[in-house]
Chain A
Amino acid sequence: NAGVTQTPKFRILKIGQSMTLQCTQDMNHNYMYWYRQDPGMGLKLIYYSVGAGITDKGEVPNGYNVSRSTTEDFPLRLELAAPSQTSVYFCASSYHAGEETQYFGPGTRLLVL
């Protein structure tokens, strides 16, 4: 039981490039979330999903897209990378919506230059 896994661990992007951050969970959780964490700031919700085929915007969705074709996978897409997207990205999952026990992946550190 690996929990929540994320790839890659670290990536450097040039401005305007695109990439997909991968997230997979093996706990059969319905709910999945993408957060970003900037220095001195709390985690901000980017997108979330309540089940396969259903996604919704969080607090800071601009510049990102998501899809949820399976229960296990919830990839985050950056289409045109900007320096403001330099951050640490965490994927999380929970069995119920807003459940306090969200299980987080180890994070992806992204640097946009």
Chain B
Amino acid sequence: RKEVEQDPGPFNVPEGATVAFNCTYSNSASQSFFWYRQDCRKEPKLLMSVYSSGNEDGRFTAQLNRASQYISLLIRDSKLSDSATYLCVVKGATTDSWGKLQFGAGTQVVVTP
């Protein structure tokens, strides 16, 4: 089982719609969680951190479920510019990776007009 697992998609979303997707992680002792965004043939960039109480940043909402070991990202009112691959990132995803970031393979989102 991969340490950080994501549905690769693509999630095809009409402009203005809502899309949500999850990421599961295998180590219950993982320290913290993030979503990064990666545009096609570009470098990853931090989108937002994921806090235990859930958090919002504009149209983006991130949730953490420690009991079931998954995090989620919800995008409301999707824009064409939201088309990207969203990388789930876990700090301390394995027992020997304390302090290091483990990246999921990403979920591709395609927003269509």
* B44 proximity list for chain A (CB < 8 A): 43, 90, 104
Say yes or no: A42-B105 contact (C-beta < 8 A), given A100-B34, A106-B42.
yes
Which A residues fall within an 8 A CB radius of B? 35, 40-43, 45, 48, 58-59, 90, 97-98, 100-102, 104-107
* A107 proximity list for chain B (CB < 8 A): 41-43
A-B contact pairs, 6 of them (CB 8 A): A97-B99, A98-B31, A98-B100, A100-B49, A100-B91, A102-B46
* A42 proximity list for chain B (CB < 8 A): 2, 4, 87, 102-106
* A35 proximity list for chain B (CB < 8 A): 103
Which B residues fall within an 8 A CB radius of A? 2, 4, 8, 31-32, 34, 41-46, 49, 87, 89, 91-92, 97-106
Q: Which residue of A lies closest to B44 (CB)?
A: A104
Report Cα–Cα, A90/B103, bound state, in Å: 13
Q: Which of B32, B41, B106 contacts A100 (CB 8 A)?
A: B32
**Apart from A40-B105, A100-B49, 15 more pairs, CB < 8 Å:** A41-B105, A42-B2, A42-B4, A43-B44, A48-B100, A58-B100, A59-B97, A90-B44, A98-B91, A98-B99, A98-B100, A100-B89, A100-B91, A107-B41, A107-B42
Report Cα–Cα, A21/B7, bound state, in Å: 32
CB distance from B48 to the nearest CB of A (A): 9
B8 to A40, Cβ gap below 8 A?
A: yes
CB distance from B63 to the nearest CB of A (A): 17
Q: Which of A40, A41, A90, A98 contacts B101 (CB 8 A)?
A: A98
